Amino acid sequence: MARRRGSGPVSGPLEIRAAGIGWQLFSLACSSLGVLRLAFDHNHYFAVTGWVLLALPVASAALLVGRQVRLRGQEPLLRIDDGGIALFDGHTVGWGEISEVREVTSGTGLAFLPKGSAELPAFAPVLLPAGAKGLARRRTERFGTPLVIYPRALDTSKEAIVAAVGRYGIPYAGAESAEAAIT
């Protein structure tokens, strides 16, 4: 079983769930304060504009909470074990399909590169399933693989994921070697 916030298990499977959304809700609340001031303006035009603009962060907060409830109600989003990487949508990527893990996006993401012509699924816990296909295409164009994980949105650290994957013999290319491979 996994330990929380970056201290994954020394051995055994690593189960990864979605992180909390407190900082996102806090930023929406802060941005709503200025709009709320506008909504109570004495000028009718500004007040109507303020109320219309206030609907945007309220709708965003509702979508965030809905997504979080859905993600928290599921099994772990990722499970790294002897069989490979099991994704929340039922796909399992075996260790024989992954050639290496590479650090991407200024060190905030981990891209799992396919071995040979292996087809890897996208890790896309999105609210609308139709968005997963476009996300997979964009990630493949940008990183060479659709299987890209951003640990900041998960309840474990990049180091714990790299250590768990390393136990199964998958090499890790940090930021220095990833930049050298691009140039």
Q: Which tokens hold the place of 42?
A: 């004495």
Give the helix ranges, DSSP H, for the chain. 22-39, 44-73, 130-143, 158-166, 175-182
Tokens 């609907």 sit at which residue?
55
Q: How far is C-alpha 73 from the chain's CA centre?
A: 17
Q: pTM of the prediction?
A: 0.69
Q: What confidence tens digit (pLDDT) does each residue in 82-129 have?
A: 999 998 888 899 999 999 999 997 888 999 999 988 889 888 876 566
Q: What confidence tens digit (pLDDT) does each residue in 7-44 have?
A: 544 567 888 888 878 888 898 888 888 888 888 888 88
DSSP notation for 62-84: HHHHHHHHHHHHSS-SEEEETTE
Q: What is the C-alpha to C-alpha distance for residues 180 and 177, in angstroms, rounded to an integer?
A: 5
Q: What is the C-alpha to C-alpha distance for residues 95 and 42, in angstroms, rounded to an integer?
A: 64
- Tell me the C-alpha to C-alpha distance, in Å, between residue 168 and each of 32, 63, 82, 98, 159: 47, 37, 7, 11, 15
In the predicted model, is pLDDT for residue 3 greater than 80? no
